[in-house]
């Protein structure tokens, strides 16, 4: 991956976040293991002005759900919002 590809993916993430109604300051829960895709998603969140809230993928489901409730994120995506 080169920077151009990372930048392009981050731009798609930001655009798609706006399309689903995320506005600056909105918290977005992200359930994804550490990867280059996570970096692109974080950049896209920052570009859109939203607050990225990575969830702990090693927790059991009840723990993850508690994290989601605690951050009160109206949007929760796994990585599907990176596609066009």
CATH architecture of 3-82: 3-Layer(aba) Sandwich (3.40)
For the chain, counts of helices (H) and of strands (E):
3, 3
pLDDT confidence band for 24 (50 / 70 / 90): very high
Predicted pLDDT of residue 72: 84
Predicted pLDDT of residue 77: 55
Predicted pLDDT of residue 84: 43
Q: Give residue-wise pLDDT tens across range 55-78.
A: 999 999 999 889 988 988 776 555
Enter the pTM of the model: 0.79
Nearest to 81 by CA among 26, 60, 3: 26
pLDDT at residue 11 greater than cutoff 90: yes
């Amino acid at each position: 991956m080169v920077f151009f590809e990372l930048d392009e993916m981050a731009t798609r993430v930001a655009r798609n976040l706006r399309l689903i109604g995320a506005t600056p300051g909105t918290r977005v829960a992200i359930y994804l293991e550490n990867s280059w895709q996570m970096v692109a998603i974080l950049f896209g969140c920052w570009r859109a002005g939203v607050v990225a809230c990575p969830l702990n993928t090693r927790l059991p489901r009840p723990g993850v759900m508690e994290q989601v409730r605690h951050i009160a994120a109206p949007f929760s995506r796994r990585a599907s919002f990176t596609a066009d």
